[in-house]
Amino acid sequence: MWLLSTDRAELHYFTDPETVPGSYAILSHVWGKKEQLFHQTPKYDEDLLLQRPNARDAASKKVRQICIIAQQDRFRWLWDDTCCINKDSSAELSEAINSMYRYYSLAAVCYAYLADVPSNRFSCDPEGPFAKSRWQMHGWTLQELIAAPVVKLISSDWQKLGTKMRHARFLSRITNIPVEVLLMDKPVTSFSIAQRMSWAYKRETTRVEDRAYSLMGIFAVNMTTIYGEGERAFQRLQEEIMEQSIDPSLFAWGSFSGMSSHERSAGHEHTKYESYLLARSPDDFNPSDSGRTRFLPNAFRSLTHIDLHSSRMKEIPTFTMTPYGCLCRLMCFGFGELTLAWMGCGWDGFEGETRSLWLLLRRCQDPPPDESKPLYHCVALSTGYRQGSRLVGLSEADWPWASFTLRPQELYIALWHTTPKGQASSPIPLVLQHERIRTPFRITWESVSAAFDGWKLESTPTVEFDWDGEAPIAFCFLRYDGLAQQSTLWFVLGVCDLAEPR
């Protein structure tokens, strides 16, 4: 661990943060366009100490000012991620990222520098600069705010604005982090996986992988950092959490709802990530839904029609990663073509009632490699064109429980990266591009998906009406509402060969 000396801004190496004499201060901030890096920061050299000027005088303004503040607070050492991590070494970078939460939790004080909040405009106004600061919505600052016992807020003009403890209630409203966490009254582990994920909702990082890496400490997991893997990093994070936690709320993402008899299940599409067990990003854990999900192993006690004396009801849900999918052992019951799997969680609905949370599953229509091991996909309930919900909250009053048989069941649930995407369920593998005409046109699949969310490219039929010159190309889109294919949309694209308009 490299630390800056606050008097000279020179790098010193320590084998472990717990061995630093007198502890250390640490900086929380959002990177600017020009930051002082590791290779631009001199290392301590006792032989040259009297021969060279004070390096702090030549340091960047941010490094110089934070060193001065820390020294005034009687701290000899400071950690700043811009210049205390050798990012040219992948091993050192990975070690620092995996140790980041520990670094902040062991620091005597954390200075949170708010580069866009001047001291004369600081207030607890929900529309003010403090509430809108980039620091509030940055991915890395989430774990820094939670891990550090003492956080002092610093304005853009280097004035102290108060502490995390003093502004805990306002910070809680802005960040969705419970006050009890900010005040250190409750440990992070007392909140469900889904609740902790919801704290990262809509937070931003420069690299997509960092959205996952910045959460490792909050879930007490470690994994290798692989920049370039993209969204796969968040998939790996969830897999690591599964290996170390029995909390099924990890799968409690997407929209939630109650369940009505007039709602029907939509089919699953292999190209839609909602059909799979794991979320795509923290943004799938909306605080209004996932943020109210609690891990309640004894939630069945509220369902008096179920025989709780059965030993089978006392089994803890388990999850095992396989190349075929996630092998889950859950309490389930069949409801028509659906299988409802208990998530072991309670959902605090808007009516104030805690409901047991269930995941909606349906057997994959594609023939499985092994008939004894069918693969299941997540599905949604929908009515008309309304967006469906992949999870439902049920209470004792919702269903005649005595008519269903609840039993432990082992089933494989599909994972995005391990499930083959069959041709029948995949988008047509082509770019909307016509090469036969002299001026080719190109429409990317991403732009079509963004403009026509919910529509599926079904075919490229032949244009049946007469056409002079080069034949155009047609695209047929279908919209599926969960009950039937209701709407058809055609695009016919071509280029007129006439030299002059008629």
- 289 beta partners: none
* HSE-up of residue 136 (Cα within 13 Å, Cβ side): 20
Q: What is the largest CA-CA distance in the chain?
A: 89
- Structure-block tokens of residue 106: 């062991």
Cβ-contact 118, 129 below 8 angstroms = yes
List phi, psi (to 5°) of 66. -70, -30
Are the beta carbons of 90 and 220 closer than 8 angstroms? no
CA 346 – CA 395 distance, rounded (Å): 10
User: Which pLDDT band holds residue 104 (cuts at 50, 70, 90)?
Assistant: very high
- Identify the three-state secondary structure at position 130: helix
Q: Report pLDDT digits (tens) over 251-284.
A: 989 877 766 544 555 566 677 888 899 999 999 9
CA separation, residue 90 to residues 11, 14, 149, 231 (Å): 19, 19, 29, 20
The alpha carbon torsion through 267, 272, 275, 277 (nearest 10 deg) reads 180
Contact of 299 with 313, CB cutoff 8 Å: no
> Own/partner pairs for 451-457, CB < 8 Å, 24+ apart?
452/477, 452/489, 454/479, 454/480, 455/479, 455/489, 456/269, 456/427, 456/480, 457/427, 457/428
Chain segment 144-187, per-residue pLDDT in tens: 999 999 999 999 999 999 999 999 999 999 999 999 999 999 99
Q: Are strands 354-363 and 318-321 parallel, antiparallel or unpaired?
A: unpaired
Q: Which of 244, 340, 345 is nearest to 289 (CA)?
A: 345
Q: Which residues pair with 294 in a beta bridge?
A: 346
For residues 153 and 162, is the Cβ–Cβ distance under 8 A? yes
Q: Which range, of 37-51, 54-68, 288-302, 363-377, averages the lowest pLDDT?
A: 288-302
The helix or strand, by DSSP H or E, that contains position 450, with its residue range, turns out to be helix 445-451
CA distance 361 to 364: 9
What percent of the chain has a predicted confidence (pLDDT) above 70?
A: 77
Residue 250 has pLDDT above 80, yes or no: yes
User: Torsion over CA of 192, 193, 196 and 200, rounded to 10 degrees?
Assistant: -160
Q: Are 212 and 177 in contact (CB under 8 A)?
A: no
DSSP assigned state of 75: -
Paired strand residues for 3: 12
Can you say how many angstroms the Cα of residue 183 is from the centroid of all Cα atoms in its chain? 24
Per-residue pLDDT tens over the stretch 425-441: 444 444 555 555 554 56
The whole-angstrom separation of Cα 379 and Cα 137 is 31
pTM of the model: 0.79
Token representation of residue 376: 């299941």
CA angle 152/222/83 to nearest 5° reads 45
Least confidently predicted of 325-329, 371-375, 494-498? 494-498
Alpha-carbon 419 to chain mean position? 21
Q: Which residues contact 501 (CB under 8 A, 6 or more apart)?
A: none
Other beta carbons less than 10 A from residue 462's beta carbon: 8
Q: How many residues does the chain have?
A: 502
On average, the pLDDT of the chain sits at 83
pLDDT tens digits for range 316-368: 678 888 988 999 988 888 878 889 888 878 777 656 677 778 889 999 888 88
CA distances from 469 to 16, 87, 436, 437, 493 (A): 75, 59, 11, 10, 13
pLDDT exceeds 80 at position 219: yes
Helix axis angle for 168-175 and 139-147, nearest 10°, is: 150
Residue of 182, 50, 33, 163 whose CA lies nearest to 109? 163
Alpha-carbon distance 231 to 228, whole Å? 9
